[in-house]
Amino acid sequence: MSAAIIDGKAFAAELRARIAVHAAAFERAAGRKAGLAVVLVGSDPASEVYVRSKGKQTIEAGMASFEHKLPADATEDALLDLVARLNADPAVDGILVQLPLPAHMDETKVIAAIDPDKDVDGFTVVNAGRLATGLDGFVPCTPLGCLMLLKDRLGDLAGKTAVVIGRSNIVGKPMAQLLLKESCTVTIAHSRTADLARVVRGADIVVAAVGRPEMVKGDWLKPGACVIDVGINRLPPADGAAKGRLVGDVDFASASQVAGAITPVPGGVGPMTIAVLLRNALVAAHRNAGVALAAGAI
Ligand code: GUN
């Protein structure tokens, strides 16, 4: 293996430590803790694990965590009422409604109900538009975490060619916007792109967020490329095993022979998402309370 391994777990731990310092300073200045509300509808086991982890890390960072659980058969109106109450609550700086929602709820409508200044997921049309037009706003946590890892590894990204594989509103599109803002030459590829291997071979930076296990192979890569793997896919269990292995969208074994640097799965991008969520919530708290925070401090 020749690639350097990008340790997202360690980077996220350092980020959380910096957040804790600023959260304590915020509490002294504002006379209250920064607050993050997380709403979970139903009892999807993966979502429950994720929400528990968010709550724990919020408290460890010295922020207030407000958890709201609604039953799977709650009405959409009940959820919209809760979002309206959180919008109006001065103790709540950031609101996250855990996705996916049950099928009888309209995600677009629910996201649109969140106050854009508390939208720490960066999912509202207002924040997507702010990002697309270069205005300050909240950026979705996973792509912002990927950008932090890329800048830490590569420094200035200007002039680099970047290929983002995946066009979701949560990762692919905002990732492309962020790289464009850094003056990269950006291509957005996806599952229907013709000759994807050829497109990827031109890239100094590859961000894979397509949701297909081990799709990107080592021989697709430009030697020395920096590879960020957003995928988390569980393979079918091998004989006798209770659970299958977790793998990314990149074939790590072959890619790590060619790439200059690569994120592992798990332990790469995954741990960054919650750390960036805490960062966004703390930025929201400073704005909402009118407390200054130096640009780029966290
Ligand atoms: N479900 C899985 N990841 C996320 C996330 O980052 N935000 C929200 N709201 N739901 C999710």
* Shared-domain flag, residues 51 and 100: yes
Domain count, the chain: 2
pTM of the model: 0.97
- Tell me what percent of the residues of the chain surpass a pLDDT of 70: 100
Residue 296 — pLDDT band, cuts 50, 70, 90? confident
**What residues does ligand 1 touch, defined as CB less than 6 Å away?**
96-99, 121, 141, 273
Q: Are 231 and 213 in contact (CB under 8 A)?
A: yes
* Shared-domain flag, residues 35 and 95: yes
- Residue 294 counted as domain residue: no
Active-site position among 33, 54, 118, 173: 54
* Shared-domain flag, residues 149 and 267: yes
What count of residues does the chain have?
298
- Residue 99 counted as domain residue: yes
What is the pLDDT at residue 1? 66
Residue 99 Cα, ligand 1 centroid: separation in angstroms? 5
Q: What average pLDDT does the chain have?
A: 97
Q: What angle do CA 21, 26, 29 make, to 5 degrees?
A: 130
Q: What is the pLDDT of residues 127-171, one digit of tens each?
A: 999 999 999 999 999 999 999 999 999 999 999 999 999 999 999
Q: Which residue has the higher pLDDT, 59 or 294?
A: 59
- Residue 160 counted as domain residue: yes
- Residue 86 counted as domain residue: yes
- CATH code of the domain containing 267: 3.40.50.720
* Shared-domain flag, residues 170 and 50: no
Q: Is 54 a catalytic residue?
A: yes
| Domain, as residue range, for 194 | 141-271
Residue type, 120: V
Q: Are 224 and 192 in contact (CB under 8 A)?
A: no
